[in-house]
Structures are given as C-alpha cells and as structure tokens.
Amino acid sequence: MAHMPESRPYHHGDLRSALLESAERTLREKGARSLSLRELARDVGVSHAAPGRHFKDKQALLNALALAGYDRLARALDAADDPASSLEPRLTALARAYLGFATANTELLELMYTRKHEPGATEQMAAGVDRTVGTLERVIADAQRRGEIVEDDPERLTLIVGATLHGLASFTANSMLDAATALGMTDDLIRHLLHGLTPR
C-alpha cells in the first residue's frame, strides 16, 4: 500500500509565539521586507494556512512584533528604575536600559518607531508608547516635584530626553558608533543633558 506524502501539521502548541520568534529572527537577519507568513509557516513546521489563525496578513504580524517590542522595552525600563534614587542616577539607569535594548534590537526598534501600522492598531501602539515613554515622563514629573529640575511641561522635557537617547541609539544602529562606545557615553550624556555644556 502506497504511503501518502506527509503534510505539515496545522497545529503547533503555542503557534503565535513560535511565529513571532521566527519573525523576529528573520527581521534581525534579513529585514522586514523578507518577512512572509508562508515562509514563517515553513520555518516553524506548520501548514501555510496556519498563521492565518493569528495574523490576517503581514501587517498584522508586524504590528504584533512592534507591540511585543514595546512590552519588552517597558519591562527593561521598569527593571532599571529606582524611584527612590535622585534624578541623575535614576535617569542614567533608564538611559542604559534603553540603549541596551536599542543596540541589541536595532531592527525591532526601527519597526516600533518608524514603520506605518494599520489604523486598527493605533490605540494599542499608543498604549505601548505610553508604557515606555511614559516611564521617562513619570521620572521627569517626580524630579519636578522634588525640585531637581525646572518647572516646565513634562511632556516637552520628556521629548527632549527621549530624542537625545534615541539619537544616540540611531547613531549606533547606523554604525556611526559601536554599542560599547554608546553605552560608555551614557553617564556623560545624562550629565551634560542635566547640567549643560557651559563652564561651572
């Protein structure tokens, strides 16, 4: 009796997680343009239709990757934050956590911040941003209550701090700086950001 050729299984334990893990690996190695639900299905060993149960199309997959990135970044920032610390060491620790994530996940960070997401994901993305940028804003607001920095719009000050950190991360992503150099500059970056460049 002839054997029927084996077909790929439709089910795969935690398929969503397996697809996201494979997608992030592809993103890191080949870039977002190389992502394909069919190729991911082949990579994790399921039928080409199986990913459709979790992601209706490639954009939905990219949205999920970005949201997972925000979640990981938020956890890294939460772990680094010590509300009992004064502003400079507190902000330095957060900067190191952000730059550590950014230099280890350059492609993912680009996806999180610069790629277009479908309209239906806007609210989720905003919540993801709030979990990350919101951490910096809370630190700024705490420092204002303690009289450690000027009374100004916390959102505006957060934008300045965030743009500074992201600028250093972008230099690293574009190979203008290596990761070790960028991390080594963190203390000076925060010191100059808080105290300025004028002689004291």
Q: What is the CATH number of the domain that holds 81?
A: 1.10.357.10
Q: Identify which of 125, 4, 105 has the alpha carbon closest to the alpha carbon of residue 60.
A: 125
- 182 and 116 belong to one structural domain: yes
CA distance 187 to 2: 69
What integer best gives the mean pLDDT of the chain?
Answer: 85
- 104 and 50 belong to one structural domain: no
Retrieve residue 92's tokens: 């330095």
- 51 and 70 belong to one structural domain: no
CA distance 115 to 66: 9
Give the pLDDT band (50/70/90) at residue 54.
confident
Give the pLDDT band (50/70/90) at residue 50.
confident
% helix, strand, coil for the chain, step of 5: 70, 0, 30
Give the pLDDT band (50/70/90) at residue 3.
very low
What is the model's pTM? 0.82
- 105 and 176 belong to one structural domain: yes
3-state class (DSSP) for residue 32: helix
* Residue 7 placed within a domain: no
- Total domain count, the chain: 2
Which H/E stretch holds residue 138? helix 122-145
Is pLDDT larger for residue 156 or for residue 11? 156
- 72 and 109 belong to one structural domain: yes
CA distance 103 to 29: 15
Range of the domain at 41: 12-55
* Angle CA 46–51–52, to nearest 5: 135
* Angle CA 26–71–134, to nearest 5: 135
- 81 and 100 belong to one structural domain: yes
- 78 and 115 belong to one structural domain: yes
Q: Identify which of 141, 139, 165, 162 has the alpha carbon closest to the alpha carbon of residue 153.
A: 141
